[in-house]
Chain A
Amino acid sequence: DSGVTQTPKHLITATGQRVTLRCSPRSGDLSVYWYQQSLDQGLQFLIQYYNGEERAKGNILERFSAQQFPDLHSELNLSSLELGDSALYFCASRGDRGDYGYTFGSGTRLTVV
């Protein structure tokens, strides 16, 4: 157990639908990062939050949004889902001390049918 918890582990939904992925960071970590991993694109950075505020945006579609709550858990909302959104979605947290490495969750596998 890495300390980063993601739910659900698997999600199957239809095109056009909306889903919410949840992430609880490692205890004490203020930064939360969301990544999308597909077979052909590898890991793609989507968005980062730090202590409740958005810090950076990567290749995140307008149909996607995220937020980080006061208890530091984060949610990634994916709407108007398309078949191409099928992927593994990872959350990672990072502390402010030490080697600044990411700690990744186990991911949510999203399948859009």
Chain B
Amino acid sequence: KNQVEQSPQSLIILEGKNCTLQCNYTVSPFSNLRWYKQDTGRGPVSLTIMTFSENTKSNGRYTATLDADTKQSSLHITASQLSDSASYICVVRLPNTGNQFYFGTGTSLTVIP
């Protein structure tokens, strides 16, 4: 079983609408949790990073939240744009390790005009 599960697998929304992507994890404790945006044919780009003790982090129209009790994180996208069409990947890093990360399989978001 994957230690980081994302939902939905895919999502189609109208331009201008808001949406929320979910990430459920079993890794605990962890060092930090990141959301990446991956455009088709390109490498992932970091959007937000939150430590275990943080609840929310914003980056423009992207806001990530973290609930350590329920082991859930969400990425909220406000006023979506066509350029938001991409895959969004949740990544959890284990503490005290330089290189152990767990990747979710991503949510594919399509924004249509």
Contacts and interface: CB of A to CB of B under 8 A. Distances in A.
A89 B34 CA distance: 21
Given A42-B104, A42-B105, A42-B106, A2 B99 contact: no
Interface residues of A, number: 24
Given A43-B103, A45-B101, A101-B34, A106 B46 contact: no
B89 A43 contact: yes
Q: Please classify how large the interface on chain B is, using the bins under 10, 10 to 19, 20 to 34, 35 or more.
A: 10 to 19
Interface in B64-113: 89, 98-101, 103-106
Nearest to A88: B41
Interface in A88-104: 90, 92, 99, 101-104
A43 B99 CA distance: 14
A97 to B, nearest CB: 13
Contact of B45 (A48, A55, A104, A107): A104
Contacts, number: 49
Interface of B is mostly: loop
Interface of A is mostly: strand
Contacts of B45: 2, 104
A102 B89 CA distance: 13
Nearest to B99: A56
A90 B41 CA distance: 10
B42 A42 contact: no
B89 A104 contact: no
Given A2-B43, A41-B105, A101 B98 contact: no
Interface of B: 34, 41-46, 49, 89, 98-101, 103-106
6 contacts: A42-B105, A43-B103, A45-B101, A101-B49, A106-B41, A107-B42
Interface of A: 2, 4, 31, 33, 41-45, 48, 50, 55-56, 90, 92, 99, 101-107, 109
Given A48-B99, A107-B42, 15 more contacts: A41-B105, A42-B89, A43-B44, A43-B89, A55-B98, A56-B100, A99-B46, A101-B34, A101-B49, A102-B44, A102-B46, A104-B43, A104-B44, A106-B41, A107-B43
